[in-house]
Structure 1
Amino acid sequence: MKTTVNTSLLTKNKINQLTPDNNLQLTDYLEVVKAFARLTYQSVYVIDYAQMKFEYVSPNPLFLSGYTAQEVLELGYEFYFNNVPESDLKLLTLINETGFDFFAKLPESQRKNYSITYDFNLIKKDGKPVLINHKLTPLFLTDDGRIWKAMCLVAISNNQNAGNAIIDKQGSDEVWKLNLENGIWGKVLKPKLNERELEVLRLYAQGLTINQIADKIFVAPDTVKYYRRRIFDSFNVGNIVEALSYAVNNKII
């Protein structure tokens, strides 16, 4: 049975016309995207807002809900309407509308420096939901500054619930977090670790144990545990796996 697509998710960034200069940006760019997809564990999508479709979907089975990459490419946004719970579709509508409103208020020269990240549930092939994280950033803009094409990275979320919508600017410690109650983006600062905490986190990322880290940085194991607790508190996470995931997703290590 064919699903009727709710186009409310697509209206905020409708592209009505492209110019020849717009198309000059496209020379072989998908080859770069494909090369990047081969290097990352994450799934990669390219969205074309002029045609309201996916232009590229990497063949990562973890995020395809049992479909092939070609099938998802052909389904386009219908893939989400078929495989995202209704409550999360409403959440995506809110993030879409407020995200494009935020973007429209930015200086055009700065718009490519911003990215948005958020979490929602995707129904797997076995019918069970998995919480995934989307990161989306502009690839190309139209002459009037709208997002024409965007790249999206998909990974397993390090959070417990859907939402967690954040916009950040490359090279800045400032981020904007979406209040889901009132739909307003509020400015916050990224959590910062001191040099010792960063060192401990990087050693954990290398697979070292508490005792090995203690030997490496010439401290007692209890001191390593102290630094680990400070890291957990800074990231608001409960274990080292979540801490490492948070640090990678937020470009801290």
Structure 2
Amino acid sequence: MEKFNSFFSNKNTISDISAQDVSQTENYLEVAKAFAKLTYQSIYIIDYEKRGFEYVSDNPLFLCGLTPKDVELLGYDFYFKYVGEKDLNLLLKINQIGFDFFDNLPLEQRKNYTISYDFSIINDKKNSILINHKLTPLFLNEEGKIWKAMCIVSLSPNHSSGNIIISDTHSENIFEFNLETDSWERKQKVKLSDRETEILSLYAGGLTINEIAEKIFISSDTVKFHRRKLFEKMGVDNITEALSYATHNKLI
């Protein structure tokens, strides 16, 4: 029970929901369900007042062999059952630093922010899968605390757990948490040139280097040059990782 409660920061404890708070939520679950039909990603919604999951989509990635209803009923116990101890402790750490960060934001900006991080879950075949987890506030109560949040889960483009990033939709900066120094570091979002975006989009369409070169009237060596620059900007080693990174970070 002590570890379970560690997922719920005292800074975001919600004990009372007003009529005005409730008025925000009319029919919003129907929107979430419709969105779930349109994406390959897993979606679930956290209710911080009830300290559980309000909705879980039927994408199998996050279900670990269970039904959506099973995961919904498990709520935060899901993590204790399907996340190893090392990554479970990481999640508790992320929970703490995330709410500390959020608590220092101006009330009017809080819904602009998303936290993203990677951890491993154990699927129904007892295999460990590294997933990327994004959480963003849906509704705040009158005091500005997160009442409900949407979580989006997909396969991680990275190779290890962590990679904790907070981003603001209205800013060119991101905040990356350094686990070694136990501090946030401000960095700039990756920016692609028009040519890099074009080449990456053509790669996503399945074209080869020669086909891309012919289509946009440049040499194959120039395509390779832009591809190397893409890899450097993203910190990846191949085009598959670059496409995954670009998708996760909404670059294409």
TM-score (norm 2): 0.97
- How many residue pairs get aligned? The number is 251
In structure 1, how many angstroms separate the alpha carbons of the residues matched to 2:121 and 2:34? 25
**Structure 1 segment 83-94 matched on structure 2, within 5 A:** 83-94=82-93
- Partner deviation per Cα, 1:60-110 (whole Å, 9 max, x = no partner): 112211111110000000011100010001111111101111011111001
In structure 1, how many angstroms separate the alpha carbons of the residues matched to 2:128 and 2:232? 28
- Partner deviation per Cα, 1:93-149 (whole Å, 9 max, x = no partner): 111101111011111001111101000000011111000000110000011100000
How big is the shift at 1:4? 8.4
Bigger mean CA offset, 75-84 vs 190-199? 190-199
Contact 1:98–1:184, Cα closer than 8 Å, also in 2: no
Identity across matched positions, percent: 53
- What amino acid sits opposite 1:30 in the alignment? L
Contact 1:94–1:183, Cα closer than 8 Å, also in 2: no
| C-alpha RMSD of matched pairs (Å) | 1.3
In structure 2, how many angstroms separate the alpha carbons of the residues matched to 1:24 and 1:193? 41
2:9 pairs, out of 8, 11, 33, with: 11
- What amino acid sits opposite 1:6 in the alignment? F
Contact 1:15–1:148, Cα closer than 8 Å, also in 2: yes
Alignment match, 1:60 = 59
In structure 2, how many angstroms separate the alpha carbons of the residues matched to 1:97 and 1:182? 16
**Structure 1 segment 103-252 matched on structure 2, within 5 A:** 103-252=102-251
How big is the shift at 1:11? 2.8
TM-score (norm 1): 0.96
Structure 2 gap ranges (5+):
none
How big is the shift at 1:183? 2.8
Q: Matched residue of 2:129: which SS? A: strand
- What amino acid sits opposite 1:230 in the alignment? K
Contact 1:118–1:134, Cα closer than 8 Å, also in 2: yes
How big is the shift at 1:182? 3.4
How big is the shift at 1:226? 1.1
In structure 1, how many angstroms separate the alpha carbons of the residues matched to 2:238 and 2:163? 19
- Partner deviation per Cα, 1:25-52 (whole Å, 9 max, x = no partner): 1111100000000000000010000000
In structure 2, how many angstroms separate the alpha carbons of the residues matched to 1:5 and 1:185? 24
Structure 1 gap ranges (5+):
none
1:82 matches 2:81: yes
Alignment match, 1:37 = 36
Q: Matched residue of 2:191: which SS? A: coil
- What amino acid sits opposite 1:92 in the alignment? L
How big is the shift at 1:199? 1.0
In structure 2, how many angstroms separate the alpha carbons of the residues matched to 1:247 and 1:41? 16
Q: Matched residue of 1:131: which SS? A: strand
In structure 1, how many angstroms separate the alpha carbons of the residues matched to 2:4 and 2:94? 15
- What amino acid sits opposite 1:150 in the alignment? A
In structure 2, how many angstroms separate the alpha carbons of the residues matched to 1:104 and 1:153? 22
